[in-house]
Chain A
Amino acid sequence: MGTRLQIEAISKSFGAGPVLDDVSLDVAPGEFVSLVGSSGCGKSTLLRIIAGLETQNSGSVRIGDVAVDHLGPRARNIAMVFQSYALYPHMTAFDNIALPLVVGRLSLPERLPLIRYLSPRRRRVERRITDDVKKVAAQLHIEPLLARKPGQLSGGQRQRVALARAMVRQPSVFLMDEPLSNLDAQLRVHMRDELVDLHKRLGATFVYVTHDQVEAMTMSTRVAMMHQGRIAQVGRPQDLYERPQTLDVARFIGSPSINVLPGRVGAGGQLSIGAREIPVGVSLPSGSAVSVAFRPEAVRLNSASGDSDALTARIRRLEHHGSEILAYLDVMAGESVENAVARLPSHVDSESQVPTSGTEISISLDQSRLHVFDAEGRAVATTPEGLSPPRIVARQRAAAAS
């Protein structure tokens, strides 16, 4: 049912600056790929180019191994769900859903007022359209709403009607442009679930644009993070979380966002933060300035400052989230004081493990979960000290392959 979608070296510019710069992406049949990034990164433009609503300056879009660059949106057999839902306000929900079929199955004269009554087959075609609309409406549980106009529907109901209009033609590729961002938080979480379910049921290819990394991470099989008109990284959600290739990706993915401390490569390629040496080797010339990034869950709080790699920090604030505690820290990194967040499981014995806010403590970092980025923000390979070089290479290969 799903179709392969290939984006090959697409570039696009509006006037002066390039909006998309040599973007390539291969979406397998039935995959759910999210395009994620901050506003202005080009994700919506890319979606509009796939839909055929915008024309690229160079490059090619292939759907089902066929180049569709010369085809209009309708002929590409795609469906699109818009952020505003884009329902025709003067038509009932039924007519909105039926429109793609009416336009597709009846000729223009058969759709014009009065003249349409001359067509002998119009009745038959319309009856089949009614059946198809009702079938889709039943799938989305909106049958009681079909007679209403969009103005009489709630946000979630409009969303369903828009989905039904997209589904009714049974397209091979669904394009969704921030479909959930006009819904309130609770409904958004619910619709997220329903969309994933729908994707499973239909087996169609989904391309989903969002600025919300949580949506991208929770719904998609793969995430393509875009930054300044390029794809910064494509991969499974856990790949982007655990092995970000750029500092931008590391910062964008994850909540609370990743901690970044300034570091330096010492003699022999050893990493140091401030005066503390971290037993991690970095393949950069000594003296290079780097950014050391780590997830909140890679921070350990020690009451005793015994380890040589421990950093000094002060607890600014504690946030109790029930299942976890977030500790907001001021970390002394050499001269400067940097903000960081630590995620602590709440079942730990809070008397001994979690000091009260304002106290000075020492923290140590899980060295296997440190990410080091060079001055340009690119990920740099690190080696845990003590491992022999051949094993390190093998580990890196394994990481790259997964």
Chain B
Amino acid sequence: MTSALNIQPAAAARRRRIAALGALFAAPAAVLIVAILVVPVCMLLALSFTDYEIGAIAIRWVGTANFERAITDPVFRRAIANTLLYVAIVLPGGVALGLLFALLIHARTRTRGFYEVVYFLPVTTTLIAMAAVWQFLLHPRLGPVNAALKALGFSEQAFISDPKLLLPTLAAIGLWQVVGFNMVLFLAGLSAIPRDLYDAAAVDGAGGAVDRFLTVTWPMLAPTTLFVAVTTSITAFKVFDTVAALTQGKYGSEVLLYAIYLEGFQYFKMGYAAALTVVFLAFMLAFSLVQAFQLDRRVHYS
């Protein structure tokens, strides 16, 4: 009893020493995380409550004025609506087409390499450079797309200046770029499915194309699909280069990032741009949380 009492303070001191040592070892990483990740976000938050402009002498605390302005700003509201529409097309389309192409290519033996390279090419190009090609392809009078439409008896379409067609066109270009990447991810997921499972499905009577897909392929691809969905939605939310290169935000084509770019780097209203960025981050965070917590529970990781 007495010995236990004597030992306890010594043990507590040792625990404190170990804790201090642990903190010392963790310090470099912790400092880096704070400096690189936490401080910038905090600065952004702080800026969003000011009227800071690049080159301005004074900086004033304006409270929530920036956010109040954002809510009523028709350009920003349009940017949010446009971005959500863009994501609504690119996210399901990118996942579905990536999966479809992967399924079609996976069974090929000799031509698989060729298709992989062809579908992956758009991923390796930069959209700024390819925008010139798209601009030519979709040109109202000179473009081959409109020439084809005319040859088939349809009327010419102004893909890039018609507000109704504008976002679907941008989304199609976004799909064009994202599908190859998703396809490669799905191909990797497909290769990891054990062949025994397909054999078992065939013996059990689930060997038809639909049954095989629903019994084996789709459930086994769920972790891949979740990952593809998260990366695709992040890519889609960050749409910027097509807008900057093809429309410069004209014809009502503003998206979130382009609106932020305009406010911050064209009009130098950094405080307002920071507030918009906070809204953008909130969107991304909400989306990622939903995907991580809602979908993750239904995904089976083997």
Q: Point out residues on A near B: beta carbons under 8 Å.
A: 48, 51-53, 72-74, 78-80, 82-84, 86-91, 99-100, 103-104, 108, 111-112, 149, 151, 165
Contact = CB atoms under 8 A, between A and B. Distances in A.
A82 B215 contact: no
Contacts of A99: 204, 206, 215
A112 B208 CA distance: 14
A89 B202 CA distance: 16
A99 B200 CA distance: 10
27 contacts: A52-B202, A53-B199, A53-B202, A53-B203, A72-B202, A72-B207, A73-B199, A73-B202, A80-B199, A80-B203, A82-B200, A86-B194, A86-B197, A86-B200, A87-B200, A88-B200, A88-B219, A89-B220, A90-B222, A90-B300, A90-B302, A100-B205, A103-B206, A108-B211, A112-B214, A149-B300, A165-B200
Interface in B114-167: none
Contacts of A112: 214
Contacts of B68: none
Contacts of B197: 86, 88
Given A74-B204, A165-B200, 11 more contacts: A51-B199, A72-B202, A78-B203, A86-B199, A86-B200, A87-B200, A88-B215, A89-B219, A89-B220, A99-B215, A103-B204
B56 interface: no
Contacts of A72: 202, 207
B296 to A, nearest CB: 14
Contacts of B205: 74, 100, 103-104
Nearest to A103: B205
Contacts of B202: 52-53, 72-74
B32 interface: no
Contacts of A74: 202-205, 207
Given A88-B219, A99-B215, A82 B204 contact: no
Contacts of A86: 194, 196-197, 199-200
Given A90-B222, A99-B215, A73 B207 contact: yes
A48 B196 CA distance: 11
Nearest to B202: A73
B210 interface: yes
Tell me what chain B mostly uses at the interface: helix, strand, loop, or mixed.
Answer: helix
Interface size class of B (residues with CB under 8 A): 20 to 34
A82 B199 CA distance: 9
Contacts of A90: 219-220, 222, 300, 302
B194 A84 contact: yes
Contact of A89 (B203, B207, B302): B302
A394 to B, nearest CB: 49
Contacts of A91: 219
Contacts of A52: 202
A44 to B, nearest CB: 11
Contact of A103 (B194, B199, B211, B300): B211
B216 interface: yes
A48 B216 CA distance: 20
Contacts of B214: 111-112
A84 B196 contact: yes
Contacts of B300: 89-90, 149
Contacts of B211: 103, 108, 111
Contacts of A79: 203
Interface string B99-114: 0000000000000000
A339 B220 CA distance: 52
A73 B203 contact: yes
B25 to A, nearest CB: 35
Q: Which 9 A-B pairs have the closest CB atoms?
A: A90-B300, A86-B200, A86-B196, A74-B205, A103-B205, A90-B219, A100-B204, A89-B302, A73-B202
Contacts of B216: 88
Contacts of A151: 302
Contacts of A87: 200
A80 B200 contact: yes
A149 B208 CA distance: 24
Contacts of B206: 99, 103
Nearest to B298: A90
Interface in B250-302: 300, 302
A108 B202 CA distance: 15
A95 to B, nearest CB: 10
Nearest to A165: B204
B272 to A, nearest CB: 47
A100 B197 CA distance: 13
